[in-house]
Structure 1
Amino acid sequence: MMQPTLTLRYVPEADDLLELLIDAPVRRRLRRRALGQAVVVLVTLWGLLVLLAVAAPAWQWWIPALLLAVVLVHYVVRAFAVTTRWSLRRRARAIRRRSPRTRLAHEMEIGPDALTVRVEGQTTAYAWSHFGSFTESDRQFVLLDRTGRASEIVPKRGLSDPALVPVCRDLLTQYLEDPTAPPAPSASPDGHSA
């Protein structure tokens, strides 16, 4: 029995990289840290205001409190700013500009043994055991490694026919469930087994 494979051809786009950056655990960690720091800033400012109101301080107490508030708020705003969608889009475009490989045509083969990526004569094969799972968006599938970090993208536009999206999803599911087991036959869009 022939094992099903699927071939995609595409040129990576900045939005593909953007989705990788958005799903990155580093971004989630930065946002959680910034949120925690925002809570600390608010509690600190509230405490200072209560202290100043109770102590009825002279004018000189307000100057350091105001400077501290400005510094802390600026720090938290910067932490949030580096993880915004706009900032990540700028970073994705910069990565694409700096890396010539991201502007070349890619050919990806989803096969029973591995995910194979070919770019200008160079071939890289990833065993299915390298990946743990995948996520799906409107644009693409994102393959996650065993630690949950985004590893490879599988753009849906690389398929020869949009009707192949469910077939691609089924193959990824089959190959990621148990990389050593032979996959079940998958139906192609015209109703024939692959």
Structure 2
Amino acid sequence: MLTLRYVPELDDIVELMAMSSELRRQRRRALRNAAVSLVPLCGVLGVGVAERTAGALPVLLICAAISGSYLLRARALFSRRRLRRRARGVWDRSPMLRRAYEEEIAPEALTLRTDEITQTFAWSRFSGFVESDRQFVLLDRSGEPSVALPKRGLADPSLVPACRRLLTEHLTASRPPGAAALVDD
């Protein structure tokens, strides 16, 4: 059994938001739209250069503006500033995030405790985990971030490999036969 004790920080929420599959899907869609809008841009540019016509310039500018707007949207969706602003909104609306948390990693389940609330999550609830420099994030069955385990919550930084090993063991043991692991080292 391993215990983590911590108070959440704004950057923990920013990381969870960055892992959201909906945000990644929106970004991919904006990049795809930018690429698709580049095709007519290149075509108009090629025709304009080949025929040296001034009529191609307005169409070229419109295509460039559309493509540029999609590229800016894709960049904005994943910008650290935007994620921090969204996380700040969550942080400001939820006083529960400022409480001290204790999480126990046991063979049976993950137990999360705060002042008056205790929650126990069976390992079968999770499909895997993703590790970053700051934390381990347990993913639910749909692959969405579910529970964060900040590394700073460990009593000693040398316990990080032990935590990684325990998570891998418990999540592998709870996975039904033939199911794929979602573990990112």
Q: Please name the residue that 1:127 is paired with.
A: 122
Q: What is the Cα deviation at residue 160 of structure 1?
A: 1.7
Question: Could you say what secondary structure the match of 2:37 adopts?
Answer: helix
Q: What is the Cα deviation at residue 23 of structure 1?
A: 2.1
Q: Deviations for 1:4-59, whole angstroms, at most 9, x for unmatched residues? A: x2221111111111221222222322232222112112112112223444565555
Residue 8, structure 1, aligned to residue 10, structure 2: no
Q: 2:166 aligns with which of 151, 171, 183?
A: 171
Q: Please name the residue that 2:147 is paired with.
A: 152
Q: Please name the residue that 2:23 is paired with.
A: 27
Distance in 2, Cα, partners of 1:44 & 1:117: 54
Distance in 1, Cα, partners of 2:140 & 2:12: 17
Question: Could you say what secondary structure the match of 2:104 adopts?
Answer: strand
Q: Please name the residue that 2:181 is paired with.
A: none
Q: 1:70 aligns with which of 55, 65, 69?
A: 65
Structure with larger Rg: 1
Q: What is the Cα deviation at residue 79 of structure 1?
A: 3.0
Question: Could you say what secondary structure the match of 1:12 adopts?
Answer: coil
Q: Please name the residue that 1:80 is paired with.
A: 75
Distance in 2, Cα, partners of 1:30 & 1:80: 11
**Code of the aligned partner of 1:103:** R
Q: Across the two proteins, how many residue pairs are aligned to each other?
A: 175
Contact kept? 1:41, 1:73, Cα under 8 Å: no
Residue 18, structure 1, aligned to residue 14, structure 2: yes
Q: What is the Cα deviation at residue 170 of structure 1?
A: 1.9
Q: Deviations for 1:100-129, whole angstroms, at most 9, x for unmatched residues? A: 111111111112221111122012211100
Percent of aligned pairs sharing the same letter: 50
Distance in 1, Cα, partners of 2:66 & 2:31: 16
**Code of the aligned partner of 1:28:** R
Contact kept? 2:28, 2:74, Cα under 8 Å: no
Distance in 2, Cα, partners of 1:64 & 1:162: 58
Residue 43, structure 1, aligned to residue 39, structure 2: yes
Q: What is the Cα deviation at residue 65 of structure 1?
A: 4.3
Distance in 1, Cα, partners of 2:162 & 2:54: 72
Bigger shift: 61-70 or 85-94? 61-70
Q: 1:111 aligns with which of 106, 110, 116?
A: 106
Q: TM-score, normalised by structure 1?
A: 0.79
RMSD: 2.2
Distance in 2, Cα, partners of 1:138 & 1:63: 48
Distance in 2, Cα, partners of 1:53 & 1:163: 62
Question: Could you say what secondary structure the match of 2:174 adopts?
Answer: coil
